């Protein structure tokens, strides 16, 4: 059976989720004026979202394990639709926060289940490629969703943007309901045991190595990525259209990285990941000094390609080392990723407030080296090569 339509529907869902999660950054002045709050308060919409998503991912995923997968994933996107409509109509900032937190509650379950669902739609050994296809929606959100949403919001208002995202999300719900085959949830298990298993899954040493790699790497990357625009202005003097073009190129390079990695992730995950981390280290070190336009542009594009492709390998590794507990393991992975986003953004703000913007690339590079060491010493989590014939799960230690 051809499941391209189902994978496309899943990818479209990731597109709207990522766009909606980050759109307040692009529309920060417009939202602050309309809601009569400080711009810093609008930034809390992103921070509070990440905190709630991280805290609720494991328990809510455990609670929903028995639900049919098609109904569950469509339900999380439906919750997204309701939250966007509520935020678009909210008369006060407090109600906007409440509406966003509704989406954050569904966020952890959505990301914990979408990769296992994608992997179940394809034959064994092609799960990584399926995940790469679905995660193209992430890159498209950065390349198209956020820039177009920002432009539309500046033209017609931020509420129109959220309403449009809700309409697209409703289309995703319909597409998921039609294209996804019936996929059963887990066998009936007492809730207490499901919650315990979701935590005890960390006893899997390979999974722990994957989550440690994720947290360490993403803390550094998001510390620098949050302040990519001022870094580029400092290093290359790019502003206005030129800066927007380079940031767009960052996302476009990510699309290319996704496409390349998707072809090899089911074959040689270890060498691929160490190579991507090495590319990011070189790019970040290049951004530390002020070297001018050409080196800065090359470094940013290389960083974008490697950074966007890295989660594909990490998520595929999660499913490979915990094949019998994919949802629970993915929930733990989501928490590690949210720690990376929230912790990185917080540390980045501390660096910048202290007048140490130029130190951010070196800080990110240092943590990336730490992640590289974890990968190199965790061969069961990141093997040099998977079995060519069956791509069977790698045994855990």
Residue 157 has pLDDT above 80, yes or no: yes
Domain identity same for 2 and 81? yes
Percent of the chain with pLDDT over 90: 30
Q: Which domain holds residue 361?
A: 192-397
Domain identity same for 182 and 198? no
Domain identity same for 183 and 208? no
pLDDT tens by residue, 310-367: 988 998 888 888 777 667 788 888 888 888 887 887 888 788 878 888 899 999 999 9
Residue 164 has pLDDT above 80, yes or no: yes
Domain identity same for 328 and 229? yes
Q: Are 127 and 118 in contact (CB under 8 A)?
A: yes
Highest mean pLDDT among 221-230, 245-254, 257-266, 357-366: 357-366
Domain boundary (145, 168, 188) is at 188
- Compute the average pLDDT of residues 376-388: 83
Q: Are 380 and 394 in contact (CB under 8 A)?
A: yes
pLDDT tens by residue, 6-37: 999 999 999 999 888 878 766 777 888 899 98
**In which residue are the tokens 């045994």 written?**
395
Domain identity same for 75 and 220? no
Domain identity same for 328 and 204? yes
Domain identity same for 206 and 279? yes
Residue 389 has pLDDT above 50, yes or no: no
Q: Are 354 and 223 in contact (CB under 8 A)?
A: no
Domain count, the chain: 2
CATH code: domain of residue 94 = 1.20.1250.20
Domain identity same for 151 and 242? no
- Give residue 2's pLDDT: 58
pLDDT tens by residue, 57-92: 878 887 887 788 889 999 999 999 999 999 999 999
Average pLDDT, the chain: 83
Domain boundary (188, 215, 231) is at 188
d(CA 390, CA 123): 10
Domain boundary (188, 220, 249) is at 188
φ, ψ at 390 (rounded to 5°): -110, -20
- Give residue 197's pLDDT: 60
**Which residues lie below 8 Å from residue 282, measured CB to CB, with a gap of 6+?**
299, 302
Rounded to two decimals, what is the model's pTM?
A: 0.78
**What DSSP line would sit under 90-149, residue for residue?**
-SSHHHHHHHHHHHHHHHHHHHHHHHHHHHHTS-TT-HHHHHHHHHHHHHHIIIIIHHHH
For residue 227, give the DSSP letter: T
User: In the chain, what is the straight-line distance between the N-terminal and C-terminal CA atoms, in Å?
Assistant: 35
Q: Are 50 and 338 in contact (CB under 8 A)?
A: yes
Domain identity same for 291 and 270? yes
- Compute the average pLDDT of residues 366-390: 85
- Give residue 139's pLDDT: 77
d(CA 321, CA 210): 9
For residue 68, give the DSSP letter: -
Domain identity same for 172 and 246? no
Domain identity same for 94 and 218? no
pLDDT tens by residue, 105-114: 998 899 888 9
- Give residue 60's pLDDT: 87
d(CA 359, CA 356): 5
Domain identity same for 236 and 122? no
């Amino acid at each position: 059976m051809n499941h391209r339509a189902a994978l496309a529907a899943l990818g479209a869902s990731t597109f709207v989720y990522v766009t909606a999660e980050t759109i307040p950054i692009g529309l920060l002045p417009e939202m602050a004026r309309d809601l009569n709050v400080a711009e810093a308060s609008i930034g809390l919409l992103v921070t509070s979202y990440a905190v709630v998503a991280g805290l609720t991912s494991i328990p809510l995923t455990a609670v929903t394990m028995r639900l049919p997968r098609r109904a569950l994933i469509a339900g999380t996107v439906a919750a997204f639709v309701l939250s966007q409509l509520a935020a678009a109509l909210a008369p006060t900032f407090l109600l906007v926060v409440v509406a966003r937190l509704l989406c954050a509650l569904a966020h952890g379950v959505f990301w914990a289940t979408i990769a296992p669902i994608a992997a179940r739609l394809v034959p064994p050994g092609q799960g990584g490629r399926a995940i790469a296809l679905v995660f193209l929606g992430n890159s498209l959100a950065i390349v198209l969703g956020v820039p177009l949403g920002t432009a539309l919001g500046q033209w017609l208002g931020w509420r129109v943007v959220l309403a449009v995202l809700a309409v697209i999300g409703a289309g995703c719900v319909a597409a998921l309901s039609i294209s996804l085959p019936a996929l059963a949830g887990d066998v009936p298990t007492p809730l207490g045991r499901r919650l315990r298993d979701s935590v005890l899954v960390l006893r899997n040493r390979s999974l722990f190595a994957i989550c440690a790699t994720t947290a360490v790497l993403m803390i550094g990357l998001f510390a620098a990525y949050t302040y990519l625009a001022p870094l580029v202005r400092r290093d290359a003097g790019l502003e206005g259209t030129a800066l927007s073009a380079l940031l767009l190129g960052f996302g476009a390079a990510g699309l290319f990285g996704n496409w390349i990695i998707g072809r090899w992730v089911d074959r040689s995950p270890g060498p691929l990941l160490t190579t991507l981390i090495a590319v990011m280290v070189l790019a970040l070190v290049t951004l530390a000094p002020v070297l001018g336009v050409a080196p800065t542009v090359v470094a940013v594009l290389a960083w974008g390609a490697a950074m966007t492709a890295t989660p594909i390998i990490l998520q595929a590794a999660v499913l490979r080392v915990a094949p019998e507990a994919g949802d629970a393991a993915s929930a733990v992975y989501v928490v590690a990723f949210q720690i990376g986003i929230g912790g990185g953004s917080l540390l980045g703000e501390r660096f910048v407030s202290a007048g140490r913007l130029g130190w951010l690339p070196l800080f990110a590079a240092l943590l990336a080296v730490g992640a590289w060491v974890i990968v190199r010493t965790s061969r069961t989590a990141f093997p040099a090569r998977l079995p060519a014939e069956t791509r069977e799960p790698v045994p855990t230690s």
